[in-house]
Amino acid sequence: MHERPRRQMSQNCNPRGRNGGTVVDDAPMAMHLFGSSNPKSFNTLKIRFALAEIGVLYEFEPVDLAKGESRTPDFKRLNPHGKVPVLLDETFALPESDAILWYLGEKYHDANLLPRLDAGGDALQARAQILRFLGIASTAFYPAYSDWWTATNSDDPAKRSPVAADSALVKVKRALDVLEATLASGEHLVGGFSLADVANVSILFSLKRRLQIDPLAGHERVRAWYQRVTARPTWQSVASEA
């Protein structure tokens, strides 16, 4: 059982569902997303994208990491690790961004972001592939992005390294090669639009905003996929705030 920490800032989110309609509801919200106050945060952005696709009403609670707001006793009751994002669904608190995406996919089957386990056919394999691509976003793209940022923008000159920056970009290209090969067989990463697309387009959005070069250069299938996904009204509504 968890109580929502008392906070001074919050934002009511009326996300657009797949039909583009705005959800309107003045009742108290049972779902809260505690995420980085930095709108460019990949891990928060991908969850907001998923929530927009689902169309569920939630309250966004910005957490200022620079001010130590994730390390307060109140927040650590939600996540002892002291990190964002955290989803609070009534009294259920769930940290870790990929776990949150999976939970939302399981809870809101009608959004078709994750095949039902009992759907039969190749649903089991599709779910495994979606999990695989969540891993690519979180363990291939994101660490490479973080390494590149440290090597080029660290406040500590000793951590800045052109060699390390180039090595990080090689890792980005390697992951893009995986996406490029996968998209040879379809318009999305796993069957129809899914959590796999949500996670990977969000990290590539962050990369494109930061890198001085176009990370999608030479990956034309990825570029076309990126344009398709970012043209969705749900993405447009979330990205406009980032």
Which residues, including other chains, have CB under 8 Å from residue 119's CB and lie 6 or more apart? none
Same domain, 235 and 125: yes
The residue from 66, 91, 111 where one domain ends is 111
Q: How confident is the model at residue 86 (pLDDT cuts 50, 70, 90)?
A: very high
Q: Is the pLDDT of residue 23 over 50?
A: no
Asked if residue 5 belongs to a domain, the reply is no
Task: Domain count for the chain, please give it.
Answer: 2
Same domain, 100 and 146: no
User: Does 157 sit behind a cis peptide bond, omega within 30 degrees of 0 on the bond before it?
Assistant: no
Asked if residue 53 belongs to a domain, the reply is yes
Rounded-to-integer distance, Cα 200 and Cα 238, Å: 15
The pTM assigned to this predicted structure is 0.87
Same domain, 98 and 150: no
Asked if residue 217 belongs to a domain, the reply is yes
| Residue 57 structural domain | 11-111
**Tens digits of per-residue pLDDT, 135-177?**
999 999 999 999 898 999 888 888 889 999 999 999 999 999 9
The residue from 83, 111, 139 where one domain ends is 111
**Residue 26 main-chain phi, psi, to 5 deg:** -95, 0
CATH number at residue 204: 1.20.1050.10
Asked if residue 2 belongs to a domain, the reply is no
Q: How confident is the model at residue 21 (pLDDT cuts 50, 70, 90)?
A: very low
Which residues, including other chains, have CB under 8 Å from residue 105's CB and lie 6 or more apart? 50, 111, 113, 114, 130, 194, 195
